[in-house]
Amino acid sequence: MDTMSLLMQGFAVALTPESIMFAVIGAILGTLIGALPGLGPANGVAILIPLAFSLGLSPTSSLILLTSVYAGAMYGGRISSILLNIPGDEPAMMTCLDGYPMAVKGKAAEALAISAIASFIGSFIATIGLVILAPILAKFALRFGPSEYFALFALAFATLGGITGKNQFKTLMAAAIGLMIASVGIDISTGVQRFTFGTLELFEGVDFIIAIVGLFAISELLFFLERHAGDGLKQIAVNKLKLSAKDIIQVLPASFRGAVLGFVAGVLPGAGASLGSFVSYTLEKRFSDKGEFGKGDPRGVAAPEAGNNGAASGALVPMLTLGVPGSGTTAVLLAMLVSLNISPGPMLFQQNADLVWGVIAAMFVGNFVLLLLNIPMVGIFVKLLSIPPKYLMPIVTLIASVGIYSVSHSALDLYFMVGFGVLGYIFRKIDIPLVPIILGMLLGPEMEKSLRHALVLSDGDWTVLFNSGLSIGLWTVAMLGLILPMIIGPMVRAKMARAKISEKDD
């Protein structure tokens, strides 16, 4: 069956009243979460995963809800960037450069509308790219054997730090911690207990959903209260929208260019939305007439917003086709799939075609929903920023805690969640990233299975890991992914810092 037929079947799933309802709910919740400085899409998805379980949603409904939250949070991140000059998440940092100056000039409504349109274009084009590229990559991945999969997992860990990561050593150390946690429990092959300390609850290992909620949601509560405890954040008032067709046409080229660049950055391992946003803004500034970049140029809002939303959808390509997440949020979504006993990878498009194409079709629907919500209802989302965090964050934590308890009805899981939250808070204080820990927990068991399978087939000959051109190519890319960020990363981060400083000076 060709791609268009499968996509039409996906729309049959996505356009049911239930799917549309969850897409709208996810879009609203995601935008609200994205508007809060520091929360971001990964935390939003992590908070709502237990809720999806406790409501007993089907796999399709759960994924439509969470992917809509993901997209909504990417949209919402621009609100605090423009009105407060505080990025909702890291990819939204570049939006501050021209979004906040536009707001200072009394054009906050125009900046918010332009960013919503650019976000729509970026996400829509990237979803088209997902439709085209994902089936091709899935067919190619069918050639993978255990040796190739082991090399692929090594590639995923090698590129975790990405170009914008600060410290490759800390990233690898975090991944090692995740792999260690993944080894807790009974060895499936030998039946030997590993790191259980005689505790019955640890025989099945550590539930990565609990770890995700603790590391992201609970640690964010502690961090958020530390930074913003007290009154709501002061913001620039939103003026009445005065956006003409000419203004929209002016930013369309920047939006389309940013969408393509962002999608490529999202698909590439280790790049992600931050790089997509940065490259889109930098190239737009370099190759366009200089205009008022850094002083409130609408193209300086459109390009990075299209870039980071394009990268967000692009990051789903490796997750769905290879089972390797392309970003922190897709790592959380991967955990959701695994917990539903759905194995991402090349067979996903054959064994769960209705699910995957239904979710992809729902992304198209969700983009239109987000565009329709984010322009007329932006005033409602803006008012959320005035709610004091000391009231808001405990509510978020309560939702996560109730969700965790409703799944297992175990008080011990709540203790684990709090423990991971404290651990996440400490790690963030010393700049140890959390996503590699989650990725280690998710990929560790499959990586171990691939290694054992390869060694069994080769009668213990470890050179089997390097005996095909495909595995050698993956190992080569892994080495480049580990080394190049150490060389290129400091230059990219320095340019991003200079761009931010020059904007402040202006």
pLDDT in tens, 95-145: 888 888 888 888 888 888 888 899 899 999 999 999 998 888 888 887 888
What integer pLDDT is reported at residue 191 of this predicted model?
Answer: 78
Q: Are 174 and 434 in contact (CB under 8 A)?
A: yes
Its pTM stands at: 0.78
Closest CA to 401 of 249, 213, 266: 213
In the chain, where are the structural domains located?
3-231+242-503
C-alpha torsion angle, residues 447, 42, 311, 302 (rounded to 10)? -170
Please count the residues of the chain. Answer: 506
What integer pLDDT is reported at residue 302 of this predicted model?
Answer: 87
Low-confidence ranges of the chain (pLDDT < 50): 163-164, 231
What integer pLDDT is reported at residue 270 of this predicted model?
Answer: 57
CA distance 81 to 38: 11
What integer pLDDT is reported at residue 88 of this predicted model?
Answer: 61
Report how many helices (DSSP H) and strands (DSSP E) the chain contains, helices first. 22, 2
What integer pLDDT is reported at residue 129 of this predicted model?
Answer: 92
Rounded to whole angstroms, what are the CA distances from 359 to 60, 263, 332, 333, 398? 7, 18, 16, 12, 28
What integer pLDDT is reported at residue 218 of this predicted model?
Answer: 84
For 205-247, the DSSP string reads ---HHHHHIIIIIIHHHHHHHHHH-SSPPP-PPPPPP---HHH
Closest CA to 476 of 155, 156, 168, 160: 155
What integer pLDDT is reported at residue 124 of this predicted model?
Answer: 92
What integer pLDDT is reported at residue 495 of this predicted model?
Answer: 65
What integer pLDDT is reported at residue 81 of this predicted model?
Answer: 78
Q: What are phi and psi of 132, to 5 degrees?
A: -80, -45
What integer pLDDT is reported at residue 164 of this predicted model?
Answer: 45
